[in-house]
Amino acid sequence: MAQVSGYPPIIILKDDVDASQGIGQIISNINACEQVVDVLRSTLGPRGMDKLIQGGDGKVTISNDGATILRVLQIVHPAARLLADIAKSQDEEVGDGTTSVVLLAGELLRQAKSFLEDGVHPRVIMSAYRKAYQLIAERLRRIAVDVAPQLSVLMSSERASEADTEAARSILRRCAGTALNSKLIAQYREFFAAIAVDAVLALDADLDLDLIGVKKVNGGSVSDSSLVPGVGFKKTFSYAGFEQQPKKIHRPKILLLNLELELKSEKENAEVRVQSAAAYQQIVDAEWNIIYEKLEKIVATGARVVLSRLAIGDLATQYFADREIFCAGRVPDADLQRVARAVGARVQTTVHDMRIEDALGTCEWFEERQVGAERFNFFTGCKEAKSATILLRGGSEQFLDETERSLHDAIMIVRRTLKYPQLVAGGGAVEMELSKYLREHSRRIQGKAQLLIAAYAKALETIPRTLCENAGFDTTDLMNKLRAKHATSEENQWVGANLETGEPHDCWENYIWEPALIRSNAFAAATEAACTILSVDETLKTETGERDAGAGLVPGHGTGGRHRA
């Protein structure tokens, strides 16, 4: 509703529209974002704690991964939802640093709040933040360590010496180990780092992660997990006759289908009118003739392994078993596509007029074997596209789920390191170095920008500060020591927090490495998220059913209570 002096009010919005605007609305949005940050703060770093979240369906999630926690919490506040979005984008882009990006964005907003309360215009803050990001992005490019020469031996077609290859693998294992250091499986980080590196290096030059399958098998020890150089998937439902099928085949021809191979009953209320028993027999014979014709054409291709996305019934199963052919129906689409790419086959939607040279694929070995309490089908020695399958073992479903998420982060780190081989030290070292650089720069400029760039520098320290807090050390003392180290010499640019002793140490010399892309992407996403939230000075709610949209967090489907911003 708008009103002009001397005239009656003009109705612009409906009565049920709730409008909030001004600096107060910006600060309200910042307060909501701070609640999200407070949830994730204790999960950062090797000494971070895990969150147990029970959803409305009763499913329990145990994780310290920022993107996973925010996804399960189902944030409903429109501004705070931006933090969940940047965590998701960080996870999809680089695979790690999801908690760091949310903490940094929240700290940038917290630093901006005091300036807003003092009357500084949001656009001035946004301009200074973007300038600060440009400065640290350029500084990050200069200090990042290029390891491309060492890693080139892994991507080159020429044969390299064993020592060079092992040195390159060691770099990747250390990067993966840093990512796993803060996970639930940190005590097995060397074991899983080696699996992550071997899985990525098993791929072709394009490093397509769709060719890496992760399968979880309950039971056994975590150390029983293994990497299979090929495609593997859990045995599908089988009809009578599958026991007679071959379980190991050398160099089989493989046919992949997207059609049913079973007799289908008529749909409900279907009606067929016949005049005689002979006519009825013709209908029955036609059904049998159709499926037998399909089976004969499949056998005629010479295929020894037949997989289908749809069902393969008991008739077809026994038919194939009598002819020494392995078959499996209802194969998950993702597994079928991985098999197709690995063995060089094309999924067929009909058995008529097939071009055998295009339809069939092959591999060195097909084998069905027992893994724990499950049966798995494996295709190894694939020539068309290299692939890998990771079999995870563990005692509980929640542990296996978190192990899969942790391994995904490590695999993404290895892949990004190979594509963008510039590294920085972790442990808060790079943030302390960039913070020092921004402070020095801010002293050389005048006006409000000096204070705002210094505020950005202070926000960068939230990462090492939170690492210290979560480890239980004296944060003030350790942060002062880190600032002193970075201020005294350029050689101390990689000094970070030792979370074992509570003292500064050289993180680069202690192999706490991570791709520079993680930090670069985190700084960019956090800056843009903070600027976006600062730019919103009015919120309109147009549906009365969403008047509780000011709520902060809703775990699962509304269980566990509600926090208001």
Long-range CB contacts for residues 551-554, cutoff 8 Å, separation at least 24:
551/76, 551/77, 552/32, 552/35, 552/36, 552/75, 552/76, 552/77, 552/80, 553/35, 553/36, 553/39, 553/73, 553/74, 553/75, 553/76, 553/77, 553/80, 554/73, 554/74, 554/75, 554/76
Q: Which of 78, 109, 49, 80 is nearest to 462 (CA)?
A: 109
Percentages (nearest 5) of helix, strand, coil residues in the chain: 50, 15, 35
Separation of alpha carbons 63 and 402, rounded Å:
6
Separation of alpha carbons 525 and 321, rounded Å:
56
Torsion of CA 20, 26, 32, 36, to 10 degrees: 150
Separation of alpha carbons 157 and 294, rounded Å:
44
Kindly report the number of other CB atoms within 10 A of residue 123's CB atom.
11
Is there a contact between 304 and 325 (Cβ–Cβ < 8 Å)? yes
Separation of alpha carbons 391 and 230, rounded Å:
12
Is there a contact between 333 and 283 (Cβ–Cβ < 8 Å)? no
Kindly report the number of other CB atoms within 10 A of residue 114's CB atom.
11
Separation of alpha carbons 171 and 191, rounded Å:
15
Separation of alpha carbons 80 and 29, rounded Å:
7
Q: Which of 17, 26, 23 is nearest to 565 (CA)?
A: 26
Q: What is the DSSP string of 230-281?
A: EEEEEPPP--TTGGGS-SEEES-EEEEE-S-BSPPPPPTT-----SSHHHHH
Q: Is 31 helix (H, G, I), strand (E, B) or coil?
A: helix
Instruction: List, by residue number, the catalytic residues.
Output: 65, 98-99, 409
- Phi and psi at 319, nearest 5°, equal -60, -45
Q: Which of 116, 144, 133, 124 is nearest to 441 (CA)?
A: 133
Residue type, 215: K
Task: Identify the H or E element spanning 456.
Answer: helix 448-460
